[in-house]
Amino acid sequence: MLTSITTPPRRTSTGALSGVLYVLFFVASLVIGGVTAPSGPIATPYSSDQVARTFLFADPSALHRSLQLTGLLQMLSALALLAFVPVLADFVSRHGSSVRAGLVRMAGVASGVLLVVSSAGGWLLSMVNSLGDLAVSRTLMNLTFITGAAPAIGTLGLVLWQVSRTALAARALPAWIGWAGSVLAVASVLSLLSLVAEPATLLIPVGRYLGFVWFLAVSLLLWRRGGTDGTE
């Protein structure tokens, strides 16, 4: 008697799509924040007091609205990243080692928490900016920029490195993802130099925006392959 063997349908993992949400929420924060922000140059920790004063106090109501919307969307982005970290850690645990998976968890959570602090700082800035105190407003602005930029990207670079090297060693993901992630990981970690050298700030958008492409690709691949299992 012959029995038929049916192939189970391909399993997908909706949790893996949190990586897509991480990117979409952050990009939305940049677009909406840019549209609602007051016109003029954007201040950074390296800007002069005059540039910072113009940015902070030229149009307080527009800046208030922009900071609150940006803070909300970046908070959602941070929460999505925190939800994606266990998916990446599980992938590394299956195809690499528990030690590497632990590093992914620690670095990923650190990056997500830094983004939470950054978005909360932006929301606080929107509340106190109307006081017109340059010292207080600039302190909060610098805190928001610093926590959400190099430290968040640098710690996330450690995640990229562990996932990429694991993927290459186990051939669990396309090779280009492994090599691209390795290069982006190095750029992301080196962006920490921006804390002491302004030219290194050029590495921040490299690690962040090109990293978005990497996260989208990995998130969708893991979703298609069932979340953590890279084998067919």
Q: Is residue 195 part of a domain?
A: yes
How does residue 7 score in pLDDT terms, banded at 50, 70 and 90?
very low
Q: Is residue 3 part of a domain?
A: no
Q: Is residue 88 part of a domain?
A: yes
Q: Is residue 5 part of a domain?
A: no
Q: Is residue 6 part of a domain?
A: no
The Cα 217–Cα 142 span in angstroms is 32
What is the number of domains present in the chain? 1
Q: Which residue has the higher pLDDT, 231 or 115?
A: 115
Comparing 64-68, 98-102, 115-119, which segment has the lowest mean pLDDT? 64-68
Task: Specify the pLDDT at position 13.
Answer: 67
The Cα 149–Cα 104 span in angstroms is 19
Greatest Cα pair distance, the chain, in angstroms, is 86
Write the DSSP assignment of 110-157 as a string of letters: HHHHHHHHHHHHHHHHHHHGGG--HHHHHHHHHHHHHHHTHHHHHHHH
226 pLDDT higher than 80? no
Write the DSSP assignment of 17-59 as a string of letters: GHHHHHHHHHHHHHHHHHHHSPSSPPP-TTS-HHHHHHHHHSS
Q: Which residue has the higher pLDDT, 187 or 41?
A: 187
Q: Is residue 7 part of a domain?
A: no
226: left (phi over 0), alpha (psi -120 to 50) or beta: left
For residue range 141-180, what is the model confidence (pLDDT) as tens digits?
Answer: 889 988 999 999 999 999 999 999 999 999 999 999 999 9
Task: Specify the pLDDT at position 146.
Answer: 87
The Cα 91–Cα 9 span in angstroms is 21
Q: Which residue has the higher pLDDT, 56 or 88?
A: 88
Q: Give this prediction's pTM.
A: 0.87
Q: Is residue 231 part of a domain?
A: no
* Phi (first) and psi of residue 41, to 5 degrees: -70, 145
Tell me the two tokens of residue 225.
Answer: 């392959």
Comparing 22-31, 125-134, 191-200, 216-225, which segment has the lowest mean pLDDT? 125-134
How does residue 37 score in pLDDT terms, banded at 50, 70 and 90?
confident
Q: Which of 26, 28, 45 has its CA nearest to residue 36?
A: 28
1 pLDDT higher than 50? no
Task: Specify the pLDDT at position 4.
Answer: 42
Domain span at residue 174 reads 14-224
The Cα 42–Cα 44 span in angstroms is 7
Task: Specify the pLDDT at position 231.
Answer: 46
